[in-house]
């Protein structure tokens, strides 16, 4: 007999509205596949008088989320409110009541993931978060299930739809940053606070979730400084293009060589386990011949290298109403099936299996870099900068002083060989102090995907 599962959707903005609408459109199709009918019986919003641009389809609309969570008819709670305060209370309350929760909230998972996973364990309910990373791409399922037999040696992701949309339009049309950001907001791609997008924080939250799933220890991204796209100029796009690259906000998660084992105790075990990873999120020059260079607009892509499978690629819309709703529906189907099977913890939301995994200090991460300076155009400038780089053992692979820039300051672009980030930062500190250097330098990683 067809079973009915009642869903309380908390939040009916871009994503919540999309979920209600998608269930109205495809609920029957899902029911025929699952043998379970999903019905949104409660919808919680902040302002009940606001006009909604979707059919609420008979759901009771209210502002009291506690009432919706504790309603004995509510089988599954979907949190689509955003933020890390009320949303945390909502998710905790539902899990403590033993109700499975679906969320798209990567900021919440990043800040409170361990606490929420513990609450899920204790409440005997599951927490599902497919929509928290890369919008409509089922990358959480891939990491948790499809690649379960692989050690992930590297994962690279274009993980923020808003940034990719902005960079694509700036490059293609020479469009202004602020104008394109407004369009991204209008299209429902951006976070309520868009600085989370453009400053790289949202992509870092997502990278932390992927890194944790791939490597089995909770990766605390507070130890990584995200670098956003505000400093990327049309000149950078032009010159990186001439050098054979496209600039993307790229998250890179890499399995690094193990640190020399320390003597004694826990540290020795950590060395013996040998699992060390690096996580970076910053504007990155991606070679034009690499598949990630052609990922445009709001699309995201995740390139995962497994030791058994080799290279794999996942692509789709990274933000927006329908793409994100699709991932929420996938979680709802899993939650409904788990409820029907009476197995509320079939696969726990996060399995910490690598007790001694460690995150590499950002300063130790080695990479090639693109450096753009603004300098006074006079003899000897290049020599002084080259001397500072040489002192830090940083090789220069090419230097460009583009023609056609006249006046007090001109751009000077360096492609730097592999060096640790701390060596590059030290050099940059000295370079900034030179009186001939005007304006803020731009430093981006160059990725070779080796």
Q: Give the binding site for ligand NAP (CB under 6 A).
A: 10-16, 44-47, 50, 65, 80-82, 86, 104-105, 131, 135, 188-189, 191-192, 319-320, 324
Task: Give the interface segment with ligand HSE, choosing from 188-196, 275-283, 308-316, 355-363 (CB under 6 A).
Answer: 188-196
Q: Tokens 């699992």 label which residue? A: 275
Q: Select the binding partner of residue 44 from ligand NAP, ligand HSE, none (C-beta < 5 to 8 A, by kind).
A: ligand NAP
Give the DSSP letter string of 90-149: HHHHHHHTT--EEE--HHHHHHHHHHHHHHHHHHT--EE-GGGSSTTS-HHHIIIIITTT
Nearer to ligand NAP, 16 or 411 (CB): 16
The three-state secondary structure class of 243 is: coil
Comparing every residue's Cβ against ligand NAP, the nearest one is 13
Per the CB < 8 A criterion, the answer to whether 392 and 419 are in contact is yes
- Residue of 99, 106, 206, 254 marked active site: 206
Shortest Å distance, C-beta 244 to ligand NAP:
32
Nearer to ligand NAP (CB atom), residue 204 or residue 437: 204
HSE-CB of 302 using CA atoms within 13 angstroms = 28
Return the closest-CA partner of residue 79 out of 28, 11, 153, 18.
Answer: 11
- Closer Cβ to ligand NAP, 184 or 446, answer by number: 184
Q: How far apart are CA 321 and CA 86, in angstroms?
A: 22
183 C-beta neighbours (distance < 10 Å), count? 15
Residue 279 CB, nearest approach to ligand HSE (Å): 18
Give the one residue of 75, 79, 130, 197 binding ligand HSE; rule: CB under 6 A: 197
Among 79, 199, 202, 338, binds ligand HSE (CB under 6 A): 202
* One character per residue 34-63, x = contact with ligand HSE (rule: CB under 6 A): ------------------------------
Could you say which of ligand HSE, ligand NAP, none residue 316 binds, taking C-beta under 5 to 8 angstroms by partner kind? none
Q: Shortest Cβ distance from residue 218 to ligand NAP (Å)?
A: 19
| Whole-number Å distance between alpha carbons of 129 and 109 | 9
Specify whether 429 is catalytic: no
| Nearest-approach distance from CB 331 to ligand HSE, in angstroms | 14
Task: Tell whether residue 161 is a contact of ligand HSE (CB under 6 A).
Answer: yes
In degrees and rounded to multiples of 5, residue 40 shows phi and psi of -85, 105
CB 268 within 8 A of CB 303: no
Shortest approach of ligand HSE to residue 198 CB, angstroms?
9
List the x/- string, 231-270, binding to ligand HSE by CB under 6 A. Answer: ----------------------------------------
How many CA atoms, within 13 angstroms, populate the side-chain half-sphere of residue 107?
21
Per-residue b or e along 322-355, where b marks 16 or more CB atoms closer than 10 Å to that residue's CB: bbbbbbbbbbbbbbbebbeeeebeeeebbeeebe
Nearer to ligand NAP, 87 or 431 (CB): 87
Cβ atoms of 204 and 251 closer than 8 Å: yes
Give strand ranges (E) for 274-335: 276-287, 299-306, 310-317
Let me know: does 299 contact 162? Beta carbons within 8 Å. no
Q: Is the dihedral of CA 198, 204, 206, 207 positive or negative?
A: positive
Q: Is 65 in the site for ligand HSE (CB under 6 A)?
A: no
- Of 26 and 185, which has the nearer Cβ to ligand NAP? 185
H-helix segments, 399-447 = 421-433
Which string of x and - marks every residue 313-332 that binds ligand HSE (by CB under 6 A)?
-----xx-------------
We find the least distance from the C-beta atom of residue 140 to ligand HSE, in angstroms, to be 12
Name the minimum Å distance from CB 137 to ligand NAP: 11
Q: List the structure tokens of 2.
A: 């067809």
Closest CA to 224 of 241, 207, 248, 244: 207
240 versus 300: smaller Cβ distance to ligand NAP? 300
Quote the least distance from Cβ 400 to ligand HSE, whole Å. 32
**x/- string (CB under 6 A) for ligand HSE, residues 110-149?**
-------------------------x--------------
- DSSP class of 361: P
Active site residues: 206
Q: Which residues bind ligand HSE (CB under 6 A)?
A: 135, 160-162, 189-191, 197, 202, 318-319
């Amino acid at each position: 007999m067809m079973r009915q599962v009642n869903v309380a959707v908390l939040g009916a903005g871009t994503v919540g509205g999309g979920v209600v609408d998608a269930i109205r459109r495809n609920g029957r199709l899902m029911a025929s596949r699952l043998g379970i009918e999903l019905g949104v019986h409660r919808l919680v919003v902040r302002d009940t008088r606001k006009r909604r641009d979707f059919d609420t389809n008979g759901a009771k609309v209210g502002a009291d989320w506690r009432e919706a969570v504790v309603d004995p008819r509510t089988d599954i709670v979907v949190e689509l409110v955003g933020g890390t305060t009320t949303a945390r209370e909502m998710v905790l309350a539902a899990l403590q009541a033993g109700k499975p929760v679906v969320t798209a909230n990567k900021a919440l998972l990043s800040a409170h993931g361990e606490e929420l996973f513990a609450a899920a364990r204790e409440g005997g309910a599951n927490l599902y978060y497919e929509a928290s990373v890369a919008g409509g791409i089922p990358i959480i399922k891939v990491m948790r299930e499809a690649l379960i037999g692989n050690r992930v040696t590297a994962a690279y992701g274009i993980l923020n739809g808003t940034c990719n949309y902005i960079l694509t339009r700036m490059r293609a049309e020479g469009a202004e940053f602020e104008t394109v950001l407004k369009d991204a907001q209008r299209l429902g791609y951006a976070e309520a606070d868009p600085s989370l997008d453009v400053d790289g924080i949202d992509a870092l939250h997502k990278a932390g979730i992927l890194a944790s799933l791939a490597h089995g220890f909770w990766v605390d991204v507070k130890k990584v400084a995200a670098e956003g796209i505000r400093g990327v100029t049309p000149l950078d796009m032009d010159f990186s293009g001439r050098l054979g690259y496209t600039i993307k906000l790229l998250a890179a998660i890499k399995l690094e060589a193990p640190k020399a084992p320390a003597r004694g105790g826990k540290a020795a075990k950590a060395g013996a386990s040998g699992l060390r990873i690096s996580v970076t999120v910053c504007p990155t020059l991606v070679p034009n011949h690499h598949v990630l260079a052609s990922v445009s607009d709001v699309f995201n892509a995740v390139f995962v290298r497994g030791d058994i499978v080799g290279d794999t690629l996942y692509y789709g819309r990274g933000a927006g109403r329908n793409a994100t709703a699709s991932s929420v529906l996938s979680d709802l189907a899993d939650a409904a099936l788990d409820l029907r099977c009476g197995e509320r913890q079939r696969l726990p939301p996060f399995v910490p299996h690598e007790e001694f995994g460690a995150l590499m200090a950002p300063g130790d991460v080695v990479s090639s870099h693109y450096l753009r300076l603004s300098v006074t155009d006079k003899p000897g400038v290049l020599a002084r900068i080259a001397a500072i780089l040489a002192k830090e053992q940083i090789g220069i692979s090419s230097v460009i002083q583009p023609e056609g820039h006249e006046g007090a300051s001109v751009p000077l672009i360096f492609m730097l060989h592999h060096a640790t980030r701390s060596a590059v930062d030290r050099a940059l500190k000295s370079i900034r102090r030179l009186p001939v250097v005007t304006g803020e330098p731009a430093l981006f990683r160059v990725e070779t995907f080796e």
